[in-house]
Structure 1
């Protein structure tokens, strides 16, 4: 257990908690610790899904640690919080393990950028989401100008980024920013349930699917379809693919190994 990040196991699911009171702001040290923890979990074959949440009930993550910005400006460094969020996001993109965000309370700025790095976002009905960087004379620097339009479309992303306005959980769901909204008291169970269903699938097929989603997003349809067909064949030839088909024919639960 680190200073800012803790993880615990729930069967094949790892529950990772960001803990930096009062609002779980993303400092450079926290991001470094988070990246190291996710790296370790991703290399553990026993972990088949990761749930990411914020400690307490006030915030998933309320943003980057703005107190670090003056020093970042003075040094003109490229190693500040914005790049740190992008670096963590790239590591999550490249992981074999899928991520589920459990969002409660404020999910703003770098917090929303971190949530958007996850594959699935489960949201409490008390959540508030947004990219308020424009109000500081800044722009999102952890992926908010790139990941947000890919989820909600150009116009809605520009609205959020240009106004800095917040949206509630119901609006976030209607816009496609989150996949499910549940009562706040049920958030952890709901996120773990989704992660558990993902963890029960073939790790090999999950990894192939995540790779396709990442690498074909901006490709022409025909090229994407070609790569999808290649991925299907890879899965069909895998041990998990053979096991899944055999289990279906034999009317029994499959026993996937990730091979």
Structure 2
């Protein structure tokens, strides 16, 4: 192995033998804000070239949060950061572009993925989650908003209609076993084994001919990736939804309980959203 490592803002990159390992670090809660979005824009532009990385593995430097959710204090800023890639202020379109990159993308999920975190991992080609620590949630419904990062597009493709509605409307936390059962992820894997499993998978895929990998991914995207307009509509609906007076009441209550600021509250956000 001939590994090279570098840090680019919120992302630490380690490249080796056709595989790029990307570790996300956006303390204190790994929220999706303008800095992380800007770094993802730069990374996607690199992946679009198709070289030298054939496979990308995303993981988190925070054992409790992969990506917690968006930073509601910086919605305008992170949407503008996304526009540097997509030409439009929308993380839904940013995530859709991640799905279209030439590299094969794998999410190694340890800790919580809620809201945009869940949407980010669903935009990856494959998802593997640690049984003991991974938690999944689309929390937007609990705040009176439609998910704006593509959750409806991805979930309705991955799950049955009923399960997608359960996830979207109840805004509850789900463990890795349920996520696997529902089709949210490829597999739930014991914590002690996940890094080795994902690494071996990445290196195996990277050994195969590049043309075949790209052709297969492009064809699968053609058949399964929903039209751009669908993602654009959801992005606009989220922005409008969080400004609704009823939603604002719920959001302010959640913020008062520690949403977006308290690690203790964020660890049990699914419960917090269900409380009066």
TM range (shorter): 0.7 to 0.9
Normalization by structure 2: what TM-score?
Answer: 0.72
Q: Aligned residue for 1:204?
A: 211
3-state secondary structure, aligned to 1:148: helix
Structure-2 change in CA distance of 1:107 and 1:218 (3 Å): closer
1:155 Cα deviation (Å)?
Answer: 1.3
1:35 touches 1:91 (CA, 8 Å); kept in 2? no
User: Could you tell me how far apart the structure 2 residues matched to 1:205 and 1:80 are?
Assistant: 33
User: Does the 8 Å contact 1:53/1:101 carry over to 2?
Assistant: yes
Q: Residues 143-194 of structure 1: CA distance to partner in whole angstroms, max 9, x if unpaired?
A: 0111111011221111111110121100111111111222223322222111
Q: Give the match for residue 62 of structure 2.
A: 56
Aligned counterpart, 2:184: 177
Rg larger in structure:
1
CA RMSD of aligned residues (A): 2.3
Aligned length: 214
How far 1:96 moved relative to its partner? 1.2
Q: Deviations over 1:2-48 (max 9, x none)?
A: 22112111321100111111321110221121121232144252311
**Which residues in structure 2 correspond to 1:102-117 (within 5 Å)?**
102-117=108-123
Residue 187 in structure 1 maps to residue 194 in structure 2: yes
Conserved? CA contact 1:122–1:190, under 8 Å: no
- CA 1:45–1:218 in 2, change beyond 3 Å: closer, same or farther? closer
CA distance in 2, matches of 1:218, 1:211: 10
> What residue ranges of structure 1 are gaps of 5+ in the alignment?
220-259
State the Cα deviation string for residues 85-128 of structure 1 (Å, max 9, x = none). 32332322221111000001101100000000111101011211
Instruction: Note closer, same or farther for the CA distance 1:188–1:35 as it changes in structure 2 (3 Å cut).
Output: farther
- Aligned equivalent of 2:164: 157
SS class of match (1:146): helix
Structure-2 change in CA distance of 1:147 and 1:21 (3 Å):
same
- Superposition TM-score, scaled by structure 1 size: 0.76
Query: Do the aligned residues in 2 keep the contact of 1:112 with 1:130 (CA within 8 Å)?
Result: yes
3-state SS of 1:7 partner: strand
Cα separation, 1, equivalents of 2:110 and 2:79: 30
